[in-house]
Amino acid sequence: MKKNVILQAVRGGAISACLYAPVLLASPIDLTDVGYVQYGDGLSYSMPIAQFIQHGDDNLQSGDEFYIQASEGQIKDLVVIGTDASGQSSTNVAGMDHAYDLPSSSGGSDAAFFETGDAVDPGQTSIFHGDLDDTWDVTLAALNNTLAGDDMVIFFQNNQEGQPGTASQSLAGWAQLWITDPDGQVLTDADGNALYFDFTNDDSRYALVSEGGGGNLLGDPGSYTNHLRSDPTGSVDGDGNTIATDYVLSGGEVCLSLISGIPVACDPTDLTVTAPFVHNISDAYASYALVFPELNALMNSVFDDATNDLSLYTMHVDYRLGCDPNLFGTDADATVCSGLDGNDAIDWGKKLNGGGEKLWITAMYTPDTNIPEPSTLVLMGLGLVGMGYRRQRSKRAA
């Protein structure tokens, strides 16, 4: 059962007369029957795996359904939350913050960690209600105009420096989102509990879902609840090995079982396992789509009440990328951050290494449900076997 997202009280006046410039969007992405991993309130969809499962295409390229353009020229007119500082700093329309500048080696920055709370506020076209200094913010009026009746999806492009399969290609990520009302109060459920929505590893092992990480394959976000604005937690042992963390591992290589279709540990000697799907994929296209079903339901409940002034409701996004010095120490080259011990990788890396990542919002096609039934996994497996999948795959972009 999902947690109740009925508002305790929705306050406001007449619909705002403010006009918001239109935001250009590509066709809404359809994630129906696409497998995902649940991290707290968020569902993470792999774009390379989605293309393979749906179309049998193991070399994601321009023109494919799940090839989501990520170059600065392609996303500059979308709602950009963060972009690497090597190019333009995306200028969003009225009612939302501009994009945060994320570290980029070509931009002269090699920060191992980024968080909205420590970064310079990106500013905005004009002052809007509910804007905070330590989060990326958007009014629901501007967001409603952007989504045009569809649900929200956040795309993330993982672009670390380094070769696929190495610790340097991966990084740690965490986010928390919430909505405030005209009085600046966090929206609540019917019991008066504040509604915060987390993308979190939920204090679990820092690893891929196929290797015992904190994600849940096809999990139910209703099983996770947090009522507090909080910071991510984590711990390591004396040798620098990660014991548990709220940070999700992004950018790791994932393999699928040709029998069941589910993620499994990669083994080049096992002919029943696919070759790795790469998620550190340059700046050409998105690695992941992130969906928050309960947050979307909450937003829709506000959108649907014609008495609400949507310009007085604000969504806030607190996100962190890289090796958090508050949890793992300030030495960015230490094992706990780099994942490297001499020449041997002993853990997936956490730190930002200046490759340049991007996050942006667009719309998602919304059928009656976008969460696959468990039987989808069986169908995925049958499809893999039926396609006679060849393990000798074409080389992907690093």
From 256-270, 318-332, 367-381, the region with the lowest mean pLDDT: 367-381
pLDDT score of 58:
85
Q: Is 250 a residue whose pLDDT tops 70?
A: yes
Q: How confident is the model at residue 90 (pLDDT cuts 50, 70, 90)?
A: low
Q: Is residue 16 part of a domain?
A: no
pLDDT score of 309:
98
Could you count the other beta carbons within 10 Å of the beta carbon of residue 61?
Answer: 13
Q: How confident is the model at residue 186 (pLDDT cuts 50, 70, 90)?
A: very high
Q: Is residue 13 part of a domain?
A: no
Q: Look up residue 43 and give its two tokens.
A: 């569902």
* Residues 40-64, mean pLDDT to the nearest whole number: 92
* Residues 138-152, mean pLDDT to the nearest whole number: 95
Q: Is residue 294 part of a domain?
A: yes
Higher model confidence: residue 163 or residue 70?
Answer: 70
pLDDT score of 367:
64
Q: Is residue 26 part of a domain?
A: no
pTM above 0.85, yes or no: yes
* Residues 353-372, mean pLDDT to the nearest whole number: 76
Q: Is residue 293 part of a domain?
A: yes
Q: Is residue 28 part of a domain?
A: no
pLDDT score of 260:
87
Question: What is the overall mean pLDDT for the chain?
Answer: 83
Chain centroid to Cα 175, Å, comes to 8
With both helix axes pointing from N to C terminus, report the angle between 375-386 and 47-55 in degrees, rounded to the nearest 10.
70
Q: Look up residue 137 and give its two tokens.
A: 């913010």
- For the chain, the domain total comes to 1
Q: Give the domain extent around 310.
A: 37-386
Q: Look up residue 204 and give its two tokens.
A: 């679990």
Q: Is residue 7 part of a domain?
A: no
* Residues 124-151, mean pLDDT to the nearest whole number: 95
Q: How confident is the model at residue 282 (pLDDT cuts 50, 70, 90)?
A: confident
Alpha helices for the chain (secondary structure H): 47-55, 72-75, 140-147, 293-303, 325-328, 335-338, 375-386
Q: Is residue 252 part of a domain?
A: yes
From 97-106, 123-132, 185-194, 380-389, the region with the lowest mean pLDDT: 380-389
